[in-house]
Structure 1
């Protein structure tokens, strides 16, 4: 499926909760590692955001993770993996350098991933969602080995925010 042409102004696209813009894709892409390291996007849905990130940063490898009922439309099949339920983690999550959570629904899923992070190679976590949701998820991150380093707002809709967290002592 062809990818939409983004503009400088955030806009909503079918299959992606986050409003998308070219500045947002540039900003997020800069946070992702190059091959052979990889990133995962937990709850990737249609794969639109992830495919745009891979298109912008051709040397980037992103794996989308979602439940079986999800319909991946944009990511190559080799970059998309199913889990059986909303509280199941992908088996290779600990190998990823970056975890991306876009509009996550369940703080418990974040907690499960954070429990795994101490043993894994993850260095950066990106949380993106509505500003009103951050207070629900923030306590999980405060208990973790990660600390917020920035809240970039470039290319986002007014009601949305991104929090970038890095592993402490890196």
Structure 2
């Protein structure tokens, strides 16, 4: 399916509950750029795949036109995770994994240390988000949703084991979203040399 033209003005599309703008794609690209050099971004509950396909299109386009990037293979890539693959309309079928239900963590997230980042756009279950943060080795996790929902999800991110506990919150237009939406980012803590010597993470 053809991707819609995204503008600087945050806008809701029929296939996505999150508002999308060029600014949001820029912010997410900058957030994932370093982490995603080592592996894929997993989008948990990717739905139609619109946001994910827009990101992948941007990343692939940047890789093939930027002089500083050698190949499209070196660009970040994104994979969707959904309960039913049939809801996907924009991502290639090979880029969407399925789970048995909204309670299950994708085996891809648990078993693949190359997974570089997690993306949650309007997730429904704080418990599931917490499980992903505990079980995946991702270096970055991003939450996108309504400001009023953040109260339920903030403890998941602030207390995520292995992450530094500092949650970066960007609201509304600063994140390329409408004013009542926001983005939160946590990054995995990098152990000091002393901690590595003691086998701590």
TM-score (norm 2): 0.78
CA distance in 2, matches of 1:12, 1:49: 11
Secondary structure of the corresponding residue to residue 9 of structure 2: coil
Root-mean-square deviation (Å) = 1.6
Deviation of 1:168 after TM superposition, in Å, equals 1.8
Written as runs of structure 1 = structure 2, the 5 A alignment for 1:5-20 is 5-20=5-20
Larger radius of gyration: 2
2:106 maps to 1:104? no
Q: Which residue of 1 aligns with 2:50?
A: 48
Written as runs of structure 1 = structure 2, the 5 A alignment for 1:1-170 is 1-32=1-32, 33-34=35-36, 37-58=39-60, 59-68=75-84, 71-94=87-110, 95=112, 96-117=115-136, 120=137, 122-144=138-160, 145-146=162-163, 147-152=165-170, 153-169=174-190
5+ residue gaps in structure 1?
A: none
Q: 1:23 to 1:79 in 2, by over 3 A?
A: same
The structure that is helix-richer by fraction is 2
47-56 vs 69-78, which moves further: 69-78
Q: Report the number of matched residues.
A: 167
CA distance in 1, matches of 2:44, 2:13: 19
Secondary structure of the corresponding residue to residue 81 of structure 1: strand
Secondary structure of the corresponding residue to residue 87 of structure 2: coil
